[in-house]
Amino acid sequence: MKKEIKEKLKHLYLHAYIIFWIIIALFPVLWIVSMSLNPINVLKPTTLTLIPKNASLSAYMKVLQKPYEAYPVPFVQLLFNSLFVAGGTAFLSVALAATAAYAFSRFSFPGRNIGLISFLVTQMLPATATLAPLFVILTLLHVRNSLFGLIIAYASGSVPFAIWNLKGYFDTVPKELEEAALVDGCDRNQAFLKVILPLSVPALAVTFLFGFMNGWMEWMLAWTFLTKPQNFTLAMTLYNMQGQWNTPWSQFAAFSLIISIPVMVVWFLLQRYIVSGLTLGAVKG
C-alpha cells in the first residue's frame, strides 16, 4: 500500500516535469499561430491568448497578395521558384546519386574506398567555407544569378548525403535478386533499372524529400547569389521580412506557417523511419 502511494507520487512529479518541457516545446509554435491570427500588425499584443480578439486571416491574405514589400513579385511566382529550386535539387541529387550508390554498393573496383571517403569529406566543409569560391565560379560560368545555378550549388551539398543514404539501402537488397535477373538474360543496366530501382522506391522517396527540404528552406546561398527579385524564393522573402525595427508581425507569422507547414507534415509522416533508423543505430552502437 505504501509502495503504491510512493509510486503515485513519483509519477505525479514526473508528469509535472514532462509537462513543463512540453509547454516550452509548444510555446513558440502556439505563439506564432496566435500572432498570425492577430489583425493588428505592430501594436503590442497585451494578452497572450491562442485566439486573439477579432482574430482574422487578414495577415494570410496580405502575405498572399503582396509577399515582398519592396517589389511586386506575386506569391505564385515565389512559390514556383521555391518548388523549381527544391524539386530540381531533389531530382538532380537523386538522379546523380542512384547510379553512384549502386556502383559503390555492388562493385569492387580500384578507388572504391577513396571515392566513398572523398564524397564524405566534402560534407565536413561548412557551406559558408565554400561560399567564396562557389560565388566566383558560378559568376565565371554565368549561372550565378539564376535558379539553375542555385540548383547546382545545392546539389553539391546534397549529393554526398544521397549517395551514402542510398548505398546503405542498396546494401540491404539481396544480391540474389539481380543474379536471378542476370541468369534470366538481363544485362547489368536492366537489372539495375528493372529490379533494384523499383525495389528501392521508399529509399529513393526519402532521399528525394531530404533534397527537397534542403532546397525549400535554404536562404543563405540564395541571398548571396541571386539579385533579381523575380528569382527570389519563399525562404528568401521570409528572411527579408525581418526588418530591424519594423517587422510586420502578423504577416511574418502567417508567412512562417505557410512555409513550414508542408515541412512539418512531411516530417511527421516520415518520423517513424527517421526515429527508427536513429534508435536502431543507437542500440547497435
Partner 1 sequence: MIDKSDIGMWEKLRRHRLAYYYILPSAIVMALITAFPILYQIWMSFTNFNITNLRNPHPDFVGLGNFIKIFTNKVPLENFNFWRIFAFDVFWTFSNVFLHVTIGISLAVALNTPRLALKKFYRTLLVIPWAVPSYISALIWKNMFDVDFGAVNQILSNILNMTVKIPWLTNPNAPIKIFPFLSYAFYADLITNVWLGFPFMMVVATGALQSIPHEIFEAAEIDGVNERGKFFKITLPLIRSAMLPAIMLGIVWTFNQFNVIYLVSGGGPLGTTEILVTQAYKIVNPGGLYGVASAFGLIVFFILLAITLITNRITRATE
Q: How far is the CB of 66 from partner 1 (least distance, A)?
A: 19
The residue count for the chain: 285
Question: CB of 113: closest distance to partner 1 in angstroms?
Answer: 13
Q: 192 to each of 179, 189, 209, how far by Cα in Å?
A: 11, 5, 22
Site for partner 1 in 158-217 (CB under 8 A): 159-160, 163, 188, 213, 217
Q: Does 48 bind partner 1 (CB under 8 A)?
A: yes
- Does 259 interact with partner 1 (rule: CB under 8 A)? yes
Contact 220, 126 (CB under 8 A): no
**125 touches partner 1 (CB under 8 A):** yes
When asked if residue 110 is in the footprint of partner 1 (CB under 8 A), the reply is: yes
C-alpha distances (whole Å) from 178 to each of 94, 130, 166, 169 are 21, 40, 17, 15
Q: In whole angstroms, how close is the CB of 263 to partner 1 at the nearest point? A: 5
Which of 67, 66, 71, 62 lies closest to 227, judged by CA?
71
CA distance 128 to 126: 5
Question: Contact region for partner 1 (CB under 8 A) — 63-71, 177-185, 200-208, 235-243?
Answer: 235-243
Retrieve residue 133's grid coordinates.
569560391
* Residue 6 sits in the site that holds partner 1 (CB under 8 A): no
Query: Site for partner 1 (CB under 8 A): how many residues?
Result: 91
Residues 131-160 that bind partner 1 (CB under 8 A): 131-137, 139-140, 152-153, 155-156, 159-160
Q: Which stretch binds partner 1 (CB under 8 A): 50-58, 126-134, 170-178, 195-203?
A: 126-134
Among 56-64, 71-79, 122-130, 198-206, the segment contacting partner 1 (CB under 8 A): 122-130
Kindly tell me which of 73 and 257 has the beta carbon lying closer to partner 1.
257
Question: Does residue 39 bind partner 1 (CB under 8 A)?
Answer: no
Which span sits near partner 1 by CB under 8 A: 67-75, 176-184, 201-209, 248-256? 248-256
Nearer to partner 1, 26 or 72 (CB): 26
Give, as one character, the DSSP assignment of residue 195: I
Find all residues with CB under 8 Å of 168, minimum gap 6, and list them: none
Asked if residue 49 binds partner 1 (CB under 8 A), the reply is no
d(CA 111, CA 119): 12
Q: Residue 226 — φ and ψ, nearest 5°?
A: -90, 140
- Would you say 130 or 146 has its CB closer to partner 1? 130
Q: Which residue of 64, 96, 173, 182 would you call a contact of partner 1, by CB under 8 A?
A: 96
Q: Which spans in the chain are helix H?
A: 2-37, 58-65, 75-106, 112-121, 127-140, 147-172, 175-183, 188-191, 197-199, 201-217, 220-225, 234-241, 249-284
Site for partner 1 in 51-80 (CB under 8 A): none
